Amino acid sequence: MTATATDTEAFLEQFPAIASGNAPLWLNKARKAARDSFASQGLPTIHDEEWRHTNIAPLLKTSLAPAPISAAAAIQDARLAPLFAPVDGPRMVFINGRYAPRLSKVTALPAGVQVKALSEILLKHPGKLEHSFTDVLCLGHPFAALNAAQFEDGAYIELDAKAVFEQPIQILHYATVGASFPRTVIVAGESARARVIEIFAGEGAYFCNASTEIGADKNASVELSRIQRESETAFHTGLLQTRQARDSRVAVQSLALGGAIARVEFDSRLNGPGAEINLAGLYLGHGKQHLDQHIVVDHAQPRGTSRQFFRGVMDEKSRGVFSGKVIVRPGAQKTDAQQQNNNLLLSDDAVVDTKPQLEIYADDVKCSHGATSGKLDAEALFFLRSRGLSARDARALLTLAFAGEVVGSIKDESLRGYLESLVTNRLKTKN
C-alpha cells in the first residue's frame, strides 16, 4: 500500500497547527516551516529507499486526535513507579507529551545543572532553543519535522562547562491516547558530564513521535539509555540527533521492546576532531511486532571513533529491521568506524532485514562492518542439554547470552540490572 498526497493531507489534518501568541515569533515560523516540510516530504512509503522495510500504512487507520488534557488526571504515581530504573536522581514525567509536575521530582540539582520543561525555557529564555530549530526542515526525517511542528512540551537539560552530574536524569514519556510529540534537548558544555535515561511507555493504542537532541561541546561526555517499552498496540517513531564537538564522547544504549510498529532513527554527527560515539542497541520482537532501527554516523572530522553494535532477537511473527550507515567525509582521515549487526531468528515466521552500509571518501581509515542472521547454534544447545538442561532452559540461556552482550558492558550496576531484568522478563515469557 502506498501513501498518496491525499493520505498525507488527511493525516496532517488530524493535528491542528500550533501557533500561540505567547510563543516567540521564530518558533511559530519554525513550526510552520516544519509542517510544510512534512507535507512536502509526504508520508513515507515502502517505495522510499529509507523506508522500504517498514510499512506505516496501519498508522493511517488509527485515529490520532490530540489527547484531552483530562486524560492525564487518571494516571497515578503507583502505575509509573515500576517503569523507572531503580536509581536515585531527578525524574521528569510527561503524559501524552505534556509535562506533569505532580508526578515529577526535580530537586537537589548540583550547581551548573538545569533540568526544566521546554515550555518554561521557551517562556523565560526564548532565545535558548532557537539554535535547535534552525534545521527544522528535517529532510529525510518527515516524522521529525512533524514533531517540530506539533510538540507541546519536553525536557530541557543543560550542563554548564565542567559541570558533572553522576546521577542519571530520568525522563518518562507516558502515553494513553491519540498522538503525542515528546521532545528532549540535552546540552552539555565543555568538559561537562551527564547521564540521561529516557523511557517511553504507555497503555492502549496511540502514536508517540519523539525527538531527542544531544549537543556535546568540547571534551563533554553524555550517556543516554533510551528504553522503548511502549504498549504493543502503539506506534512509535523517534529520532535521536547527536552533534559532537572536538574530543567529546557520547554513549547510547537503545532497547526496543514495545510498539506494534516502532522505528528509531539515529543521526550522529562527529563535527569535531577526535570525537567518539558508541551506539549499542537491542531489539526484541514477538507477536506481530515490527521493530526498525535506522542509524547514520557521519564522520566529518579526522580521528573520530564510532561503534555500532546492534543485536536483534525476533520471535513468533515479528520482523526486525536494521539499517546502519557510516559516512566518512573527505578529509576525515584516521577515522576508526566499526559496525556490527547480529540477528537471531527464533521462529519460522520471524523475519529480519539488515542493511549495514559504508560510504567512505577518505583513504587512511579503518572501517569495517559485519552482519549475520541465523538461529541458535545446534551444538551449543546439545552441549547444554548434555549437562542436564531442558530444551526450553537451554534455549532461554543461549538467547539471553546473545542479547545480554549488548547491555552487559554498562558500568552502572543498578542500571545494568534494570536493563537485564527487562530483557530477561521478555525472553522468559516466550521460551
Partner 1 sequence: MAADSNLQALTEQEYKYGFVTDIATDAVPAGLNENIVRLISGKKNEPEWMLQLRLKSYRHWLTMTPPDWQKPKFPPIDYQAIVYYSAPKPKQEYESLDQVDPELLATFEKLGISLDEQKRLAGVKGGLDSEKTASPMPGQTPKIAVDAVFDSVSVATTFQATLKEQGIIFCSMSEAIREHPELVKKHLGSVVPHTDNFYAALNGAVFTDGSFCYIPKGVRCPMELSTYFRINAAGTGQFERTLIVAEEGAYVSYLEGCTAPKRDENQLHAAVVELVAMDNATIKYSTVQNWYPGDKEGRGGVFNFVTKRGLCHKGAKISWTQVETGSAITWKYPSCILKGDNSVGEFYSVAMTRDRQMADTGTKMIHIGKNTKSTIISKGISAGKGDQTYRGQVKIFKGATGARNYSQCDSLLLGDKCGAHTVPYIESANPGAVVEHEASTSKISDDQVFFLRSRGLSEEDAVNMIVNGFCKDVLRELPMEFAVEAQKLLGMKLEGAVG
Residues at the contact surface with partner 1, assessed by CB under 8 A: 49, 53, 330-331, 333, 343, 345-375
DSSP conformational letter for 370: E
In the complex, what is the shortest distance from the CB of residue 366 to partner 1, in angstroms, rounded to a whole number?
A: 7
In the complex, what is the shortest distance from the CB of residue 373 to partner 1, in angstroms, rounded to a whole number?
A: 4
In the complex, what is the shortest distance from the CB of residue 360 to partner 1, in angstroms, rounded to a whole number?
A: 5
CA angle 37, 200, 114 (to 5 degrees): 85
Burial class of residue 420 in the structure, from the number of CB atoms within 10 Å of its CB (0-12 exposed, 13-18 middle, 19+ buried)? middle
Alpha carbon distance 18, 98 (integer Å): 14
In the complex, what is the shortest distance from the CB of residue 18 to partner 1, in angstroms, rounded to a whole number?
A: 35
- Return all residues near 129 (Cβ < 8 A) that are at least 6 apart: 27, 118, 121, 122, 156, 185
- Burial of 81-101, coded b for 16+ CB within 10 Å and e otherwise, reads eebbbebebbbbbbbbbbbbe
The owner of cell 537539560 is 157
Q: Look at the alpha carbons of 74, 80, 81, 87 in this order and tell me if their dihedral is positive or negative.
A: negative
Q: Which is nearer to partner 1, 191 or 373 (CB)?
A: 373
Q: Which is nearer to partner 1, 135 or 349 (CB)?
A: 349
In the complex, what is the shortest distance from the CB of residue 352 to partner 1, in angstroms, rounded to a whole number?
A: 5
Q: Which is nearer to partner 1, 201 or 344 (CB)?
A: 344
Q: Which is nearer to partner 1, 282 or 365 (CB)?
A: 365
In the complex, what is the shortest distance from the CB of residue 36 to partner 1, in angstroms, rounded to a whole number?
A: 23
Alpha carbon distance 359, 245 (integer Å): 22
Q: Which is nearer to partner 1, 222 or 427 (CB)?
A: 427
Burial class of residue 377 in the structure, from the number of CB atoms within 10 Å of its CB (0-12 exposed, 13-18 middle, 19+ buried)? exposed
Q: Which is nearer to partner 1, 171 or 326 (CB)?
A: 326
